[in-house]
Structure 1
């Protein structure tokens, strides 16, 4: 399906500019950490808000509203500008809109071992949407949790829409093991100074502080308050005080659930040329 079958892209005029690159996913795969690292680079301008959701939720607002996130006055002295919205990778219409609106855009897609990715999502919402449900029950009841972990399927679609040379595939495992190598590969991909070392390089970003209340605060227009809390020195204390611990997936869980994703992992290996034995059985 193309935009012409749904809605034509708005006119690309105005004082703002379009991004040179977009991080499209995956959810729960370190994109917030990457956003912080990219935001520090002097050659890169990142949108003030990490997740813009323009191509999947706000497209009808028009391209000028999107370009306003990359004002000419602030992007004139940088080499590239971009945004990260991890919801794009599993929305075909959003990907098609990106392609037809910014044909030469560069994309990066962070892949994460599928059971761990799904379990991280479970932990995020276990005190709200998934309250009272086990991990197995969530996977059975909510098809989207499984679908978001079928990253091979989504990567294949991305390759069908965008030229491979415009797509950088990253792995969450590498972020954990060697964050400096990952950041350097992204900087090289964006053709900016790869010797720059962000202060967030070896930090763990507290993406979720109050998982049970974040979505409600956002609905009330108070999302800015969440970001202030996350960036404050008190964020870890608040998280520990209000966030109830959730059972971690053990090796038995991993073995049982990993079989659901075997074919998709095989597809990722085929598409990327990277063997992923640790994704198919416990380490």
Structure 2
């Protein structure tokens, strides 16, 4: 078998942003039959494609993945990048795709919270919605789902909902494991851990760019981590969640309808 083909991932989680992909990465990392690179969000198909497939397959080589039955990655930017999905289809046509959907207004507000101390500093949620179109575009998951199904057979795609992750993480995870054809009864220690909100995202992004993600892990493992989380949570509680129904009233109705049509389900509780 060609080395590049053998070492390409069996699965990719493409999104959505702010829909539990970090939690899922941690759970998959614990499963003895699954290999994911330590670095979440490789961004190969959207940012680093020019480096070539050889550099990508190095992340999944036998020396890296050991005895794992399946291996893959999670980059929640891929779903919004048509070119990324087209590249995945061309290079790994049989890959399994995981796509997590989240109630669009909640997803948008979660992103606002994420960047409230960075690029959205000093802006209300309504101001962000009015001036930062990409925030609402990332919540238009119906159009992204439609594009996904135009490229991949439905048997290759697992669509999940953040609602279920929040309410029944064990059931959610069993679906993922079954889809990947690994032991569905394995339950990782991270199963019921709080899904951490990212603190100081701009700083974290810079550290990742400079290959200094170990600094983030060092802080997480230190006593200061709980203090940082507490400050961040207090900050987010003051961001005015009550504003988002008015700011987004009716904006996602057509996109929600599209998801309902594609998946043949009722999402009236999302409206």
- What is residue 154 of structure 1 aligned with on the other side? 144
1-side partners of 2:251 and 2:5: how far apart? 48
Moved more, 89-98 or 214-223: 214-223
- How many Å apart are 1:64 and its aligned residue? 1.2
Q: What TM-score do you get using the length of structure 1 for normalisation?
A: 0.88
Contact 2:124/2:239, CA 8 A, preserved across alignment: no
Q: What TM-score do you get using the length of structure 2 for normalisation?
A: 0.92
Matched position secondary structure for 2:160: strand
2-side partners of 1:271 and 1:242: how far apart? 38
- How many Å apart are 1:210 and its aligned residue? 2.7
Runs (5+) with no aligned partner, structure 2: none
Out of 91, 115, 127, the residue aligned to residue 125 of structure 1 is 115
- What is residue 74 of structure 1 aligned with on the other side? 64
Contact 2:42/2:73, CA 8 A, preserved across alignment: yes
- What is residue 264 of structure 1 aligned with on the other side? 255
Matched position secondary structure for 2:201: coil
Cα RMSD for the two superposed structures:
2.0
Q: 1:16 to 1:212 in 2, by over 3 A?
A: same
2:189 equivalent to 1:199: yes
Matched position secondary structure for 2:119: coil
Structure richer in helix, relative to its length: 2
User: How many pairs does the alignment contain?
Assistant: 268
Runs (5+) with no aligned partner, structure 1: 1-11
Q: Deviations over 1:120-158 (max 9, x none)?
A: 111111111111211111112111111100001100000
Contact 2:11/2:95, CA 8 A, preserved across alignment: yes
Structure-to-structure mapping, 1:35-114, within 5 angstroms: 35-114=25-104
- What is residue 214 of structure 2 aligned with on the other side? 224
2:12 equivalent to 1:18: no
Q: Deviations over 1:159-206 (max 9, x none)?
A: 000101100000000001100000000011011111111111111132
Contact 1:31/1:86, CA 8 A, preserved across alignment: yes
